[in-house]
A and B are shown apart, each in its own frame.
Chain A
Amino acid sequence: MTESTLFTLAFVLYVCALLVYSVALFAAREKWLKVGFILAAAGFLSHTAALIARTVTSGHAPFTNMYESLSFLSWAIVLALIVFGRSSRVPRLGAILMLIVVGLVALASSPLMPKGATPLVPALQSYWLWLHVSVTLLGEAFFCIAFVSSLLYLGADSVEKKERLDALSYRAVAVGFPLFTLGGLVFGMVWAYRAWGRYWSWDPKEVWSLITWFVFALYLHTRIVMGWKGKRSAIIAIVGFLAALFTYFGVNYLLSGLHSYA
C-alpha cells in the first residue's frame, strides 16, 4: 500500500475511534472505551506504516515541512494516548484527544499544506533533524495530554475525577518536560552549533521554546515546592501547551526568523 492509502486508512480509523469514544461518553463505558482504544491503536499502526513509507520514498525524516510535521505530531499524540490513556480511564480524554488528532490530520491533508516530498536544503541534511524534531514533537504530544486533562479538570464535577485528572496532567508533564528540554532545547542547541556555528541566536522560535520551558518550569516549581495543585496547576499547564503550540505553529506564520523550514 502507498503512503497516501495508509494515511487515509489511519484517518478513517481515527474518525471511527473518535465516534466510538464519543458514544462511550453516554453509553456503557468500559466496552466502548475498549473498542475506541483498539480503533485508535489500529489507526496508529496504519499511520506508522504511512510514516515509514514516506521515509523510504523521500529518503529523509518524515517531518521536513508542515504537512509532514503535522502528521508526525498527530502520530505522537496518539502514541501518548496509547501510553497514558488506557490506564487513565477517562472517556472524555480519549474523545477530545481523538478530536484533536482528527483535526490535525485533516489540517495536514488540507490543500493549504503542500504534500510533495521536496529535496532537503543543505541545512536540514543532518541526523540531528531526526533527534531534534521527533523528540520535541513527542514532548509536545505529552503537553497536549496535560492540556486536555487540565481542561477536563476545570470542567469536572466530582472530587474523585478531579484528583485523577490532576494526577494525569502531572504525569504527562513529567514525561513531556524532559523530552521537550532534551529534544527542543538541548538537541536544538547542538544542531544549531553544528549548522550555524552558534548554539543560541535568540531567534523567535528559540525564544518561544524557552518561554514554553519557563512556563512548565513554573508549573513544576509551584506544584512541587509550593504545593499548588488543582485549578492553578491546570491553568499553568494550559498556558504551557498554548505556548508550545505557538512555538510550533504560530512562530512560523507570525514571526520571522531562522527556523523558516516548517
Chain B
Amino acid sequence: MRSAWKFFASVKLAIVLFIILTLASVLGTLIPQGRSAAEYAARYGSLSGLFMGLRLTGLYQSAWYLAILLLFALNTVVCTISRLAPKWRRAFGPAPETNAKAVSSMRASSRFRLPLPLSAARDRVAERLRSRRYRLDESAQGGSIVLLARKRRLGWFGSDVVHAGLLVILAGGFISGIGGRSSDLSLAEGQTVDVPHAAFQVRLDKFETEYYPQGAVKDWKSTATVLEGGAPVLTRIIEVNHPMTYKGFSFYQTSYGWNWADARLVLEVRKPNDPSFLRTISLKAGERAPVEGADVTHVLVRAFVPDFVIGEGGRIQSRSEEPNNPAAQVEAWKGEERVFSSWIFAKYPDFGQGHGDDPMAGAKPGAKAEAPKLAIILKSYSAAPYSVLEAAKDPGVNLIWIGCLLVSCGFFLAFYWPPREVRVVLEETQGRVELAAGGQAWKNREAFQSEFDSLFESIRRPG
C-alpha cells in the first residue's frame, strides 16, 4: 500500500504519463479514427488487422487509452494530496519559532530601533501591515513579540485547484461517455416525433433557410415545439449556435434537406411544329398523368434526382441533396407506344429532348435527335424541406464547466496571485524597541522588495 502510494506520488510518473499521452494522441491523429474495416484494409493492407486489434482505429475510446487517463488521474490525486500539508502549514499554520537573527537573513530584510514602548511599536507595525492587506498571526516568544504577516495565501494552492479542475473534467468526460445520449431527428414541417430516451415529443413548426445576397447559406432556422402529453410546453427557434434546451436535453440544428423521393414536378409538354400546343402537368416521380391532345396520351416520370451526375458504370445518381442540377427521367406514351423518353433538366431546358429507348441518348452531349415531335420541359420542382435536429443529453457537461472554471481560477492563482510573507520580531531593550523584519515573495520579487522597503520606511518614519 505504501509503495503504491509512493509510486503514484512521483512526479516522474506524471512526466512519463505526459509523454505517453502525447505520443498516443499524436498517433490517433495520424490514423483516421472510426472508419470502416474495408477502408482500413484499403489503406493499410495487412497491417489493418493489427491496428484494429490494438484499437488504434478508435484510440481515444480504447480501454488502454482510458487506462492511461485513469493512471494519470490517480497520479494527480496522490501527487496533489501528498504535497498539500506543507503548503497548508505555510499558508495557514501558526508562526514558527524564530528570532531577530533568522528574520534578518531572509531575502528582504530591515533592522532598526523605534523610540516607543513595546505595545505601541507592535500596534504601529500591525496597523501598517494590515493597511497593506496582510493577515497577522502574533506570538510571544521569550519576551519578544513575533508577527507573522501573510497575504495572497490562496496563491499557494493554484496548482492544486488546477489539478482538482482537471479531475472534475475527467470525471465529467467519463460520465458523458457512459450516460450521454444523442440521436438525429429528421422532421418535416408539421411533423411530430418522440424524442428517444425522453418522455416528450418535438414538433417542427417551421423550417427556413436564409441566404446571403451572394447565394451562400446564412442561417437555418427551425421553429420547434416541445410537447408533453400532447400539450405544447415550449417553443423556440433553433439555429446553429443557438440550441434549445428542455429537461436536460439540448436540440441542435445539425443538418437539413428535402424529401426528394416525394418531389412534386411541373412539366410542360409542347410540340415544336405547333406553337399553340401547350399542356402543363403536375405529378410526382413514379406517377403517370394523362395529356389531352394528339400524338400523346399520357406522360410518366420514372425518376427524379436533385443533383444529376453520371456515376460509375453509367449509373445515374444524385451528387448531393442540393438542387444543383435537378433532372427527371420522363416518358411520353401514345397508347401502347412510347414516343418520348429522356432525362430532362430544369436548368438546361434545351438539353435532352431526345427520342428513343436509350435513356442516355439525351444526356450525351452532341446527341441530336432528328426533328422531335414533342418537347417536354421540367418547369419546376418542389419537395418538402426537412430539418435534422440532434437531440442530445449529456449528464457530464456541468462537471466539465465546473472543472473549466476551477482550472481557470487555479491558473490565475498559480501565476498571478503569488503569496507574500513578512516576519517581524520586536524586542524591548532599555525603553526602546529593536525591530527586525524579513520578507519573502515567491514571484515578482522586485515588486515585493519595493513594497517591503516602503512598508518599513513608513514604520520607521510615520507621517
Whether chains A and B associate is: yes
| Chain A residues with a Cβ under 8 A of chain B | 118-119, 121-123, 125-126, 128, 174-175, 177-178, 181-182, 185-186, 189-190, 193-200, 202, 204, 207-208, 210-211, 214-215, 217-218, 221-222, 224-226, 251, 255
| Sampled A-B contacts (23; CB under 8 Å) | A119-B212, A119-B214, A121-B216, A122-B218, A126-B241, A177-B411, A186-B404, A189-B404, A190-B401, A190-B404, A196-B254, A197-B252, A198-B182, A208-B29, A210-B25, A211-B22, A211-B25, A211-B26, A214-B22, A218-B15, A221-B14, A226-B11, A226-B15
Give chain B interface residues in 166-225, CB to chain A under 8 Å: 173, 176, 182, 212, 214, 216-220
Known: A197-B392, A221-B15. A122 touches B29 (CB 8 A): no
| B19 CB contact (under 8 Å) in A118, A202, A218 | A218
Contact assessment for B11 and A225 in the assembled complex, using a CB-CB cutoff below 8 Å: yes
Please name the 5 residue pairs, one residue from A and one from B, whose CB atoms are nearest each other, closest first. A122-B240, A178-B411, A197-B252, A126-B241, A119-B212
Q: Which residue on A lies nearest to B21, using beta carbons?
A: A214
Which residues in B have their C-beta under 8 angstroms from that of A119? 212, 214, 216, 218
Known: A189-B400, A197-B392, A202-B60. A182 touches B408 (CB 8 A): yes
Which residues in A have their C-beta under 8 angstroms from that of B408? 178, 181-182, 186
Bound Cα distance from A255 to B30, whole angstroms: 8
0/1 per residue, B251-277, Cβ < 8 Å to A? 011100000000000000000000000
Which residues in B have their C-beta under 8 angstroms from that of A208? 29
| B217 CB contact (under 8 Å) in A121, A177, A182, A197 | A121
Q: Per DSSP, are chain A's interface residues mostly helix, strand or loop, or mixed?
A: helix
Bound Cα distance from A225 to B411, whole angstroms: 16
Contact assessment for B415 and A174 in the assembled complex, using a CB-CB cutoff below 8 Å: yes
Q: Shortest Cβ distance from A163 into chain B, in angstroms?
A: 14
Contact assessment for B14 and A197 in the assembled complex, using a CB-CB cutoff below 8 Å: no
Which residues in B have their C-beta under 8 angstroms from that of A225? 11
Cβ of B110 under 8 Å from chain A: no
Bound Cα distance from A170 to B241, whole angstroms: 37
0/1 per residue, B216-243, Cβ < 8 Å to A? 1111100000000000000000011111
Contact assessment for A125 and B240 in the assembled complex, using a CB-CB cutoff below 8 Å: yes
Cβ of B119 under 8 Å from chain A: no
| Chain B residues with a Cβ under 8 A of chain A | 11-12, 14-15, 18-19, 21-22, 25-26, 28-29, 33, 60, 159, 173, 176, 182, 212, 214, 216-220, 239-243, 250, 252-254, 390, 392, 394, 397, 400-401, 404, 407-408, 411-412, 415
Contact assessment for B18 and A217 in the assembled complex, using a CB-CB cutoff below 8 Å: yes
Contact assessment for B220 and A122 in the assembled complex, using a CB-CB cutoff below 8 Å: yes
Which residues in A have their C-beta under 8 angstroms from that of B217? 121-122
| B219 CB contact (under 8 Å) in A118, A125, A186, A251 | A125
Q: Shortest Cβ distance from A117 into chain B, in angstroms?
A: 11
List 17 other contacts, CB 8 Å, given A122-B240, A211-B25, A226-B12.
A119-B216, A122-B217, A122-B220, A125-B240, A128-B241, A177-B411, A178-B412, A178-B415, A186-B404, A186-B407, A189-B400, A195-B252, A197-B394, A199-B397, A207-B29, A217-B18, A226-B11
Bound Cα distance from A166 to B77, whole angstroms: 30
Which residues in B have their C-beta under 8 angstroms from that of A224? 159
Q: Shortest Cβ distance from A114 into chain B, in angstroms?
A: 14
Q: Shortest Cβ distance from A180 into chain B, in angstroms?
A: 10
Known: A200-B173, A221-B15. A122 touches B241 (CB 8 A): yes
Bound Cα distance from A194 to B21, whole angstroms: 28
Which residues in A have their C-beta under 8 angstroms from that of B404? 185-186, 189-190
Q: Shortest Cβ distance from A169 into chain B, in angstroms?
A: 15
Contact assessment for B241 and A125 in the assembled complex, using a CB-CB cutoff below 8 Å: yes
Q: Shortest Cβ distance from A207 into chain B, in angstroms?
A: 5
Which residues in A have their C-beta under 8 angstroms from that of B415? 174-175, 178
Instruction: Pick the most buried of B19, B240, B254: most chain A CB atoms within 10 A of its CB.
Output: B240
Bound Cα distance from A215 to B173, whole angstroms: 21
Q: Shortest Cβ distance from A57 into chain B, in angstroms?
A: 15
Q: Shortest Cβ distance from B8 into chain A, in angstroms?
A: 15
